[in-house]
Chain A
């Protein structure tokens, strides 16, 4: 019996953690591919019915208030969607006359720094795990219009029908004045 790493004792628990991490990484890389390949309908399937898809805003605050540099859920936000609204966003693109994404932007999602703030070794049916990650999203549209959106995601992934589903997503971007003219790219 080894002392283990990542806070795990027995090897079986540590193997469970590694297995779950691989599953989570695969989940995010598949999500990135679905988005960047404009495969939006299967992307919508990645969400739980009660998803809260929330992108708060950032504030310039004094050092002593640094914990409050992100707007709360009772404040305004860039995006604060439920599943019905996410579906509408996809359907709007699919009309072919959503001018902000017609023609479509070229997008690459890089997802990295994937970490479980509280490591777990098993995720049984119905259980959830908090996952932190970073994103670097490059968007180029028409000729030279280019945006780079960088920030953190704090997700809650839930196992439903033996699949991972996003039950909650918080997207924290590193800009207070948004330097992109719009947010038509899913993060």
Chain B
């Protein structure tokens, strides 16, 4: 892959805290990032609970492209590009299900759930040997990883192992996707994904969830009305101390730290949910001691997997569809062992918070929509965005790994870190160069 000669870094000045609007509107940059970011990074594909039994499949996306997450007959998970090797037709157009084979509706090639080409129409009449079917399996990702139920994959065989890719952000992933009691129990999805299309660049979504502590005015109306899980006040229960944390891999997270010797009153709107939470909280403290109160609130794992890990509990993937169009896929998750009444209460809270009808998320999408539209103009593009909050603040913390800035100091260090890493990807010819990129300054 040819180098852009450092041209992406010229658009991203993290020292000054100024980032070019071209990142959010430019068609050429968009095409480049499909290759340089989405074809190289580790991407979130799905959740293990979506493919429990052999033959189960879930149709997902990696960047712009359709992929199939499936469990083969021997129980092994795979991620395949959803396209027939013969003439490109999607071999699966169902959202999810269970199957023996993926049969292409165009010319009838069929592929087993391990990706092998097992059926070719008119094989005898049409093809002279040698036709090595093994050469024409479904295209499979180069690497795959399951961690705490979340399934990840990358197309790049040179990409580092998943744990190295995440680096210290593994701490956020581990704490964020554990059950409430902090143990090794399972989480499960509350149902199928919400999928919807927004007129905005995917990076607005990624930076917002990486921890935009400054967008309180966006959500003032929902805070006034109150949709929280404790008698409807605000939009969530208190989270304690707030630590904004940046990781060199472009990942960013906000932690809440609740002192374990202080009582909690979460989920006061539902007796069953409050009781289950208290039980988990006791077990969590017993298991983890004073670190039990350190829990991720919100974050983005580079490039486009965002999450809320406390209230609500949800994964949002911002799949790119063009410089000014993004397809959002949102799933909600809960402890598998939680009582049904708890799952029911949480579902209703999560749905009024997030998604296209979510009373919080609706206002984000209006802002991303018209921020994109108003950045498209020739003159508008001359003026960079302002990311200067907390420049120079932050450092090491005893509580969590990464570069940390604690509230009340506000900072945009996480978007800065995200765009620094984005520029690394855009300018680096390969993973060897990406590994060598200096850390966030």
Contact = CB atoms under 8 A, between A and B. Distances in A.
Interface stretch (A53-61, A106-114, A126-134, A162-170): A53-61
User: Majority SS of interface residues in chain B?
Assistant: mixed
B261 to A, nearest CB: 35
Interface residues of B, number: 44
Contacts of B359: 88-89, 92
Interface string B311-344: 0000000000000000100011000000000000
B81 to A, nearest CB: 18
B225 A91 contact: yes
Interface residues of A, number: 40
B55 to A, nearest CB: 13
B357 A84 contact: no
B232 A176 contact: no
Contacts of B192: 57, 59, 71, 75-76
Nearest to B348: A80
A177 B319 CA distance: 13
Given A61-B94, A76-B347, A179 B357 contact: no
A30 to B, nearest CB: 24
A95 B221 CA distance: 6
Contacts of A100: 362-363, 365-366
Nearest to B367: A99
Contacts of B227: 85, 88
B225 A181 contact: no
A92 B327 contact: no
B142 interface: no
B195 A76 contact: no
Contacts of B218: 99
A184 B348 contact: no
Given A98-B221, A99-B366, A100-B366, A178 B97 contact: no
Contact of B97 (A65, A75, A77, A79): A65
Interface stretch (B28-36, B196-204, B284-292): B196-204
A81 interface: yes
B98 to A, nearest CB: 10
A180 B217 CA distance: 23
A136 interface: no
A2 interface: no
A81 B347 CA distance: 11
B435 interface: no
Given A60-B93, A92-B359, A182-B357, A78 B194 contact: yes
A62 interface: yes
A181 B97 contact: no
A184 B356 CA distance: 8
A77 B351 contact: yes
A181 B196 contact: yes
A97 interface: yes
A148 interface: no
A80 B357 CA distance: 10
Contacts of B370: 142
Contacts of B96: 59
Contacts of B363: 98-100
B145 interface: no
A98 B225 CA distance: 10
29 contacts: A59-B95, A60-B94, A61-B94, A61-B97, A65-B97, A71-B192, A76-B190, A76-B194, A76-B351, A78-B194, A78-B356, A85-B227, A85-B348, A88-B359, A91-B225, A92-B222, A98-B363, A99-B221, A99-B366, A100-B363, A177-B327, A180-B196, A180-B356, A181-B198, A181-B356, A182-B196, A183-B362, A184-B357, A184-B362
Interface of A: 55, 57, 59-62, 65, 71, 74-82, 84-85, 88-89, 91-92, 95, 97-101, 142, 145, 176-184
Given A98-B221, A177-B196, A178-B197, 12 more contacts: A60-B95, A61-B95, A71-B192, A75-B190, A82-B348, A85-B227, A95-B224, A98-B222, A100-B362, A101-B362, A176-B95, A183-B362
